Amino acid sequence: MNYTVMVLVVYAALMLAATVLMTKKEANIVGFCVGDRNTHWILSALSIAATWIWAPALFTSTENAYTKGFAGLFWFLVPNVLCLIFFIPFAKRIREEMPDGITLSGYMHDKYQSEGVKKVYLFQLGALSMLSTGVQLLAGSKILSLLTGIPFWAMTFIMAAIAFSYSQFSGIKASILTDAIQMVFMLVVSVCFAIFSVRNGGIGSLVTGLSGIDGQCGKLFSARGLEIFLGFGLPTTIGLISGPFGDQCFWQRAFAAEKDKLGRAFFVGAILFGIVPLSMGIMGFVGAGMNYAANDTGVINFELITALFPKWAVVPFLFMIVSGLLSTIDSNLCAISSLTTDVIKDNSIGKTKISMVLLLLAGIVVANIPGLTVTHLFLLYGTFRASTLLPTVFTLKGVKLASNGVIAGIVSAILIGLPIFAYGNINGIAIYKTIGSLTTVLLSGIVALAISRKRGAENG
């Protein structure tokens, strides 16, 4: 049996067995979406970390370290960690204000008593789940299809089926449990790869590699470091900081975790997450320090593992990649199931599971669009995430906004920010990427505040 197929079979069997043996089949909608609202903080932290890891990020951290040195890894790693920490007070606030809540869209509907606000949030959160699922299927199926010989389209169905098999059993409990297992494995494997990379390449290679393959990226504030900041660091930071705020996966975990240890869960989750890309980045430093000539920098970590490690090391690497992919997909499935509570009045477990299937089908369709790339999808869902940041933050901080201001702000951010940001990324123009990112984030808040103040003045 092809070792990649073996990894998929073992992974599916392990996750399904753990779910069936350690959780109970859920028949209650609230239990399916948020469990008993008292998930142990350690499990929550592992789940938060695993959900924030998507497989391309495992490659991106190594690629940035290899091509952009310390500056590249810094601007990828630090914002990724800080965004989860920045999210903590807002997760606590929504739990305080809506202790029986399930979704962000439900919270915003209750705050504004507006179907329009609820619908625009449902659109943003639902579209994000679909695009995120599509990018996981696209990225993972390309790699796994090449290694197994299984057609790409068939691999998208296989991956979708694996994620659904255990997620539909007990919902969020299955997702959190399997996330925890996946995260422990990713932590162990990534740290071992980092240690053995340094042992194989030597400390000298690690130190030399901090400057990247071109030897000019070792300092944040050098000319090359500032170039990396403007072209990569700033737009990446803007997009990542808004990440958890526009993603139902994280609001759902805020509602499901132990209330009095919610901050601890997100803080520890952020640190645990950081260990994985840091470890993978160390591999990139070693490769650059050794002057390893990459055939494809996008999969440099896979190349280094095949070059520096025994052949069997590919198996745990692939298991880690599959874990990173499917932990995000199963989280998206639980997110979309929770959003159905805001859409279907006479909801049921059966209808909730149908929404999961529909999400997977939509993700498969997106992944199989000819010519579509991971970058295209990343641009789209990054913009969707950023579009709701400020209205959400303002609302949770007690700022009074008009419902039509919230709607207009989010819509304008998507319609104006997305084209600018996409143009800059497609053409590699740093200034447009930065302007597009800032426009997406700021416009929703500015428009919402302006309309709200105008309405207040008219009423006054």
Q: What is the pLDDT of residues 400-447, one digit of tens each?
A: 899 999 999 999 998 998 888 778 777 777 788 778 888 988 999 999
Rounded CA-CA distance 379/377 in Å is: 5
202 φ, ψ (degrees, to nearest 5): 95, 155
- pLDDT at residue 236, rounded to an integer: 77
Determine what percent of the chain is predicted with pLDDT higher than 90.
59
Give the pLDDT band of residue 384 (cuts 50, 70, 90). Answer: confident
Q: What is the pLDDT of residues 54-71, one digit of tens each?
A: 766 788 899 889 999 999
Rounded CA-CA distance 292/28 in Å is: 54
> Do the domain assignments include residue 417?
no
- 39: pLDDT strictly greater than 90: yes
- 376: pLDDT strictly greater than 70: no
Q: What is the CB neighbour count within 10 angstroms for residue 319? A: 20
Place of tokens 């090391």: 313
- pLDDT at residue 390, rounded to an integer: 95
- 278: pLDDT strictly greater than 90: yes
Structure-model confidence comparison of residues 455 and 315, the more confident one: 315
Rounded CA-CA distance 237/283 in Å is: 23
> Do the domain assignments include residue 395?
no
Nearest Cα to Cα of residue 318 among 171, 444, 193, 174: 193
Q: What is the average pLDDT across 5-13?
A: 89
Helix (H, G, I), strand (E, B) or coil at 26: coil
Give the pLDDT band of residue 36 (cuts 50, 70, 90). Answer: very high
- 186: pLDDT strictly greater than 60: yes
Q: What is the average pLDDT across 376-402?
A: 84
Quote the domain boundaries for residue 22: 3-369
> What's the total number of domains in the chain?
1
- 396: pLDDT strictly greater than 70: yes
Joined tokens for residue 136:
């996981």
Q: What is the average pLDDT across 114-135?
A: 93
Nearest Cα to Cα of residue 44 among 330, 266, 273: 266
> Do the domain assignments include residue 443?
no
Rounded CA-CA distance 143/136 in Å is: 11
Determine what percent of the chain is predicted with pLDDT higher than 70.
96
Q: What is the average pLDDT across 128-145?
A: 88
Rounded to the nearest integer, the mean pLDDT of the chain is 89
Enumerate long-range contacts of 418-422, CB under 8 Å, 24 or more apart: 418/379, 418/380, 418/383, 421/235, 421/379, 421/382, 421/383, 422/379, 422/383
Q: What is the average pLDDT across 320-348?
A: 91
Q: What is the average pLDDT across 143-169?
A: 91
Structure-model confidence comparison of residues 453 and 118, the more confident one: 118
Q: What is the average pLDDT across 275-286?
A: 94
Rounded CA-CA distance 43/51 in Å is: 12
Contact 285, 201 (CB under 8 A): no
> Do the domain assignments include residue 446?
no
- pLDDT at residue 456, rounded to an integer: 60
> Do the domain assignments include residue 91?
yes
Give the pLDDT band of residue 460 (cuts 50, 70, 90). Answer: very low
**Residue 257's beta-bridge partner residues?**
39
- pLDDT at residue 56, rounded to an integer: 62
- 247: pLDDT strictly greater than 90: yes
- 339: pLDDT strictly greater than 60: yes
- 156: pLDDT strictly greater than 90: yes
- 361: pLDDT strictly greater than 60: yes
- pLDDT at residue 394, rounded to an integer: 96
Rounded CA-CA distance 216/352 in Å is: 52
> Do the domain assignments include residue 104?
yes
Q: What is the average pLDDT across 150-165?
A: 94
- 281: pLDDT strictly greater than 50: yes
- 333: pLDDT strictly greater than 90: yes
> Do the domain assignments include residue 219?
yes
DSSP 37: S
Contact 140, 56 (CB under 8 A): no
Q: What is the average pLDDT across 98-121?
A: 95
Contact 200, 68 (CB under 8 A): no
Nearest Cα to Cα of residue 176 among 296, 257, 290, 76: 257
Q: What is the average pLDDT across 233-243?
A: 80
**Sign for the pseudo-dihedral over CA of 171, 176, 182, 185:** negative
Joined tokens for residue 207:
């130190």
- CATH code for position 262: 1.10.4160.10
- 1: pLDDT strictly greater than 60: no
- 283: pLDDT strictly greater than 90: yes
